[in-house]
Amino acid sequence: MKGAREIGSEDTIHRGPPVTVSRYGPAKRVNHWITAFSLILLALSGLALFHPTLFFLTGLFGGGQNTRMLHPWFGVVLFISFYILFFQLWKANLFIRDDFRWFTNFNDVIGGHEERLPEMGKYNPGQKLIFWAMALLIVALIVSGLMIWDQYFYTYTAIETKRIAVLTHAVAAVLIVCAFIIHVYAAFWTRGTIRAMTRGSVTGGWAWRHHRRWLRELAGHGRIDSAE
């Protein structure tokens, strides 16, 4: 069922007062923050190695040698932590027909006229787009990163392959940083969103305004509990 795939095991309406809706359990929240911090560390260490003018950033990691050693391991942590989330959330992030109406009426999204848009499930199309972009870019980063991780994989790729991998790695890194900035900006722009990843729940009003179809599906499946 389309609705059921968007309902997580922890998703529950709590009657209140006030009405709240559980959105993420402790394990998902911890994993989310591991993913976020590993991406920040990866970006800072990568920038330090990207251009001489940014070499001063190696001071954050104890010098150039430590930065070069730690950078790929940050990538491994990012890959593992994100894909734990991926396999839990991918079904809820599949695109449906109403998502394309959301994109074609993006002016209403920016203007805050959500009443003119289709009702959203657990994730809106913008969130889904960021999710799939992150999934693809992290694969590009880990694959290209392994090709240029000479400490362990030097003999497995030719010089020409390494050159292509370096370019791919740099482009993917720039794109994923852009995606991350958009994700963070959107989280602050949509007031009440940060609470989902700090406390695990959102207000009933937030769910009704931004993800009304998800709220209806929770009620329709009997996912209603007494207040915590």
| Active site annotation includes 183 | yes
Q: Is residue 82 in some structural domain?
A: yes
Instruction: Please check whether residues 2 and 41 belong to one and the same domain.
Output: no
209 belongs to a structural domain: yes
Q: Is the pTM of this model over 0.85?
A: yes
If asked whether residues 179 and 138 sit together in one domain, one would say yes
Which domain CATH number covers 168?
Answer: 1.20.950.20
Give the integer Cα–Cα distance in Å for 21 and 161. Answer: 49
Number of domains into which the chain is organized:
2
**Which range of residues forms the domain containing residue 130?**
26-89+124-187
In a domain, 7, yes or no: yes
Would 218 be classed as within a structural domain?
Answer: yes
Judgement on whether residues 6 and 78 belong to the same structural domain of the protein: no
Could you tell me if residue 38 is inside a domain? yes
Given the residues 51, 169, 183, 221, select the one marked as catalytic: 183
Per-residue pLDDT of the chain (228 residues; tens, 9 = 90+): 555 778 888 999 999 789 999 999 999 999 999 999 999 999 999 999 999 999 999 999 999 999 999 999 999 999 999 999 999 999 999 999 989 988 888 887 787 778 888 899 999 999 999 999 999 999 999 999 999 999 899 999 999 999 999 999 999 999 999 999 999 999 998 888 999 999 999 999 999 999 999 999 999 999 998 654
In a domain, 181, yes or no: yes
**pLDDT number for residue 65:** 94
Residues 109 and 138 in one domain: no
In a domain, 195, yes or no: no
Confidence (pLDDT) at 113 = 79
pLDDT recorded at residue 105: 86
Note whether 163 and 177 are same-domain residues: yes
105 and 116 share one domain: yes
62 in any annotated domain: yes
